[in-house]
Structure 1
Amino acid sequence: MADEESRAALLDRWWAVGSKFVAPATLLSSLLFYFGYVSTRAQYRYFGLDVDTVGLSTRDYVMRSPQALLVPLLAISLGGAGLLLLHLAIRRRPLSVGAVRVAFAAGILGVAAGVVLVGGYAAFGDWPAYPLVTPLLLAAGSAAVLYTMRMPGSPDFLRSPDPDEVNLRRGVLAFTVVAIVGCVFWATATVAQWTGLGNGMRTARHLDQLAPVILDTQEPLFLTDGIVTVTSLPAAEGDEFRFRYRGFRVLVQGDGTMFLVPERWSPSDSTLMVRLDSSVRVQFRFMSRAP
């Protein structure tokens, strides 16, 4: 009980020190912005678009982050609850020395496998599951080592009561916790990126659900996708618009810029960047569904 109280007091002190440098609200906003940016970048990259050219605001990225974070939050919450229940069961019925040694060895192997993957990025980096498996191996292995290091069966030097080694073990604990947090951050960013890519592919399958527009221009666009149709407008005094394009859908709109895609996906499709100025005229069409 005394050890648990001392660890809780140590955690409170670390939290107080950390909150002096970074306010919790600022940290949360920064995380939401980052994961929203990662997800949005992957989503529009599928359409050949660099999200930095769109001009989305910080608020836009923050508002897009919950969808990317839903799966990681569920996994962390349910996984954390499961680990707490497992810890409660172990406290009531402690593990045998053999089980502790197996868990400790499994943790060491997990960390070693993660280190090999990190060091062998040139060889394993093209593996699709690499950015998720690597941090999970490192985090799970490190957590298993930390959990079993104080149990009977772990190496003696990890459980030594020598007071001169207390600060050293605390330093090992602090660095390992930082590594685990970094790995969780890495895995969450990977899931956010995959979520954005999945959103982009789903959008491409249902382009007809995006907002339809009619685009009038003064100069021809020379489109070759065969989906967007063009008609010539009759000459009128004072009207400089000569071409009308139908079949466009709004992919995203930024600060003074609109990005349009054809209403059906094709390998030859491209994303059209339109400046919202006097050189174009945009009409938003109603949906073809009676009210």
Structure 2
Amino acid sequence: MNEGSGGLGRLGTIVGAIAAPTSLITALLYYFGYYHAYWFFAYFRVNSTVLGFGMADYLMRSLDALWIPMTVTATAGLLAFWGHDLLRHRIAAGTRLPALRYLIPAVAGLGFLLALGGLWSTFTGTFLNRVLTLAPLSLSVGVTLLAYALHLRRTFAVGGPSSGEGGADSDGSDGGDSDDGRDGDGDGDGDEPTAPAPAPPDAPSAPLSRPEWAVLVELAVVFVLVGLGLVWAANDYAASVGVTRAQRFLNGLPDYPSAVLYSKDSLSIGAPGVRETRCDDRRAAYGYRYDGLALILQSGDQYVLLPYGWTRADGVALVIARNDSVRLEFGPSPSARSAAARSHSC
């Protein structure tokens, strides 16, 4: 019986009994979506917790943060399974693979170095922390390689196929006449029965079976370390995607539709590029108008507006409560108005 596959199935049953897969996946998507939103709005100096995001908002943002990590992880996992299956079938067919005696130590050594570097990077800054997701991926890949090297040693190096020297049959006889003078039919002349020949010293011994609890503990530790490394990597990537999306939004800000903000009372907006106009008509429902703004997001009861002149040095973002005292009117973007003005010029 394969201890790895049996223990993995048993571990899956235990994990499934503790946490339903759907709940676990939803929690992870919420977590990654939260960090995506947090770093996106933090780029504009807005704390995302004041925007009243709901579960659906975070789940939608998590897809943007996890698309590439899930694709890369699934592809790497599929290639690893195919490679292992090819190796297993070649050995099962009796093909000798001398490279295994070098492959197993090499995989174990590489896994140890990567796992050590990833663990060290969790406690102090190393060169691995300077590259996005490199430290957590070192931990996950290193632990996976160590576990796989141990699996190869247990499965192939110890329990591999062996054949006797000199064309001996599987029962240990050489197929010819015996050396003790007995006939081929096994009738002797009263000779004493000889003791069976001892096994050669280099014959592989059967691997000792381990108790189920040891298999489960080993798989659980591997699962936890690999899982934490992948969550750590996905978290860093989600934060990076949030910042990248904010920078891309800022670069395309001149092409976004303008949002003219009307308010019953003065909002005293002093952001660069925002113009306040007071309406002279006393019968107007909204006495103040603000131009030079673009809408980033409307979430719950909040509007998030950004001035077209926003800069990283001194720019401010506006969070306006959504109620009857304000309204928005959308119009052409500044770039569209500039193009229209040029087309109508003489």
TM-score by length of 1: 0.85
Residue from 250, 257, 260 that aligns with 1:214: 260
Mapped contact 2:129–2:135 kept (Cα < 8 A)? no
Partner of 2:250: 204
**d(CA) in 1 for partners of 2:288 and 2:212?**
78
Alignment of 1:1-291 (within 5 A): 2-3=1-2, 6-91=3-88, 92=90, 94=97, 95-121=99-125, 124=126, 127-129=129-131, 132-152=133-153, 161-163=207-209, 167-217=213-263, 218-225=265-272, 227-237=273-283, 239=284, 241-266=286-311, 267-285=313-331
**d(CA) in 1 for partners of 2:75 and 2:124?**
32
**d(CA) in 2 for partners of 1:165 and 1:8?**
14
Mapped contact 2:104–2:152 kept (Cα < 8 A)? yes
CA RMSD of the aligned region, Å? 2.9
Query: CA-to-partner distance for each residue in 1:232-268, whole Å, 9 max, x for gaps?
Result: 211323x464331111111111221111101244232
> Which stretch of the first structure deviates more once superposed, 6-15 or 174-183?
6-15
Q: Give the drift of 1:105.
A: 1.1
**d(CA) in 1 for partners of 2:6 and 2:304?**
54
Structure 2 runs not aligned, ≥5 long: 92-96, 159-204, 341-346
Q: Give the drift of 1:207.
A: 1.4
**d(CA) in 1 for partners of 2:115 and 2:25?**
29
- Provide the identity percentage: 22
- Cα gap change, 1:240 to 1:170, in 2 (>3 Å): closer
- Cα gap change, 1:167 to 1:232, in 2 (>3 Å): closer
What is the one-letter code of the residue matched to 1:43? F
SS in 2 for 1:151: helix
**d(CA) in 2 for partners of 1:16 and 1:127?**
35
Mapped contact 2:305–2:318 kept (Cα < 8 A)? yes
**d(CA) in 2 for partners of 1:101 and 1:9?**
25
**d(CA) in 1 for partners of 2:314 and 2:252?**
17
Mapped contact 1:257–1:275 kept (Cα < 8 A)? yes
**d(CA) in 2 for partners of 1:178 and 1:31?**
15
What is the one-letter code of the residue matched to 1:146? A
Q: Give the drift of 1:43.
A: 0.9
Q: Give the drift of 1:211.
A: 4.1
Query: CA-to-partner distance for each residue in 1:61-87, whole Å, 9 max, x for gaps?
Result: 112211111101111111112212221
Mapped contact 2:310–2:316 kept (Cα < 8 A)? no
What is the one-letter code of the residue matched to 1:249? A
Higher-helix-fraction structure: 1
Mapped contact 2:33–2:61 kept (Cα < 8 A)? yes
**d(CA) in 1 for partners of 2:6 and 2:152?**
22
Mapped contact 2:7–2:216 kept (Cα < 8 A)? no
**d(CA) in 2 for partners of 1:152 and 1:164?**
15
Q: Which has the larger radius of gyration?
A: 2
TM-score by length of 2: 0.72
Query: CA-to-partner distance for each residue in 1:60-116, whole Å, 9 max, x for gaps?
Result: 111221111110111111111221222134332644312211211111111112222
- Cα gap change, 1:24 to 1:211, in 2 (>3 Å): farther
**d(CA) in 1 for partners of 2:157 and 2:112?**
12
What is the one-letter code of the residue matched to 1:8? S
Q: Give the drift of 1:286.
A: 5.6
Mapped contact 2:11–2:220 kept (Cα < 8 A)? no
Equivalent residue pairs, number: 280
